[in-house]
Amino acid sequence: MPLDVMAVVLFAALLHAGWNALVRSSQDTFADTAFMVGGAALWAACLLPLLPMPAPASWPWLGASVVIHVLYFSLVALAYRGGELGLAYPLMRGSAPLLTALAATQLLGERLSPGAWTGIVLIGGGILLLAGDARRRGHLHLGSAALALANGAVIACYTLIDGRGARLSGSAFGYTAWMLLLSGLLMLLLFCLRRGRPELARLRGSGRRAVIGGAGTLASYTLVLWAMTRAPIALVAALRETSVVFALLIAAGVLKETVSRLRLAAIVVVGAGAIALRLLQ
């Protein structure tokens, strides 16, 4: 992987952890998630006139991506209602490659290398350590943990879909902009159906958060998809998992969450397992 691509992926990982922290710090996670995705859609709409149209071959992948991203954003909001960033985030990001590998062995009959099984063991052990630490401190919210794990499966799906779609599109930036524009509109429609149109007035009070979070959402995913057109998807996805470390730093330094030595060790183990699974399978 070229050094410039590596730097871009690391920056994207930081941005992703940052907008997740904004959602976690919210008093109404679903509303602010919808507004942030709406903010990303606004940024995307401004950029679209400057970007090429994705090639028709990528349109089915784009449509699937829009639907699955709305599910992803909804689960993010629900997971953070009762779960700490330092717990829910690594569960979501760490379980994605784990669930992908297990599904491949059970449903597709694929055989994994010893290195890949090492990654699975590391991720599984790290998740158990995270759950054990949260339970010991009385911070384990089973519903949030289950939602975070479910979102891991969603992440695994959209990683594969968008990795393929971006390559077929001929323009990773155009593909991402259309995906976020359509996802944002669908999220706002879902918000209106759940809360009613008058609730959209709250967007004025959350405008700054929506604009900043939307920019982070757009930039983080666009940069990752661009990197996937310049380097192997598995390598990009592996380096992308460093976001769990950035999330840990934000949780401790900004959100003032308690990060015990056991949680620190667990997150390092999850991150190492995710990287090993991406690189050694």
Tens of pLDDT, residue by residue over 105-147, are 666 566 767 777 787 777 777 777 776 776 676 666 677 778 8
d(CA 224, CA 238): 11
How confident is the model over 21-40, as pLDDT tens digits? 888 888 888 888 888 888 88
pLDDT, average across residues 43-66: 92
Which range in 14-23, 80-89, 204-213, 218-227 is most confidently predicted, on average pLDDT? 14-23
Residues 86 and 263: beta-carbon distance below 8 Å: yes
Residue 259: other Cβ atoms inside 10 A? 17
Q: Is pTM, for the whole model, over 0.85?
A: no
pLDDT, average across residues 86-103: 75
- 210 or 5: which carries more pLDDT confidence? 5
Residues 209 and 36: beta-carbon distance below 8 Å: yes
Check residue 281 and give its pLDDT: 59
**Band of pLDDT at residue 185, cut at 50, 70 and 90:** very high
Q: What burial class does residue 125 get, using C-beta atoms within 10 Å of its C-beta: 0-12 exposed, 13-18 middle, 19+ buried?
A: middle
pLDDT, average across residues 251-256: 80
d(CA 161, CA 155): 10
Check residue 56 and give its pLDDT: 94
Output the six-digit token pair for 143. Answer: 């519903």
Output the six-digit token pair for 165. Answer: 């779609």
Residue 131: other Cβ atoms inside 10 A? 16
d(CA 190, CA 185): 9
pLDDT, average across residues 143-158: 84
Most distant CA pair in the chain: distance in Å? 55
Torsion sign across C-alpha atoms 196, 201, 205, 207: positive
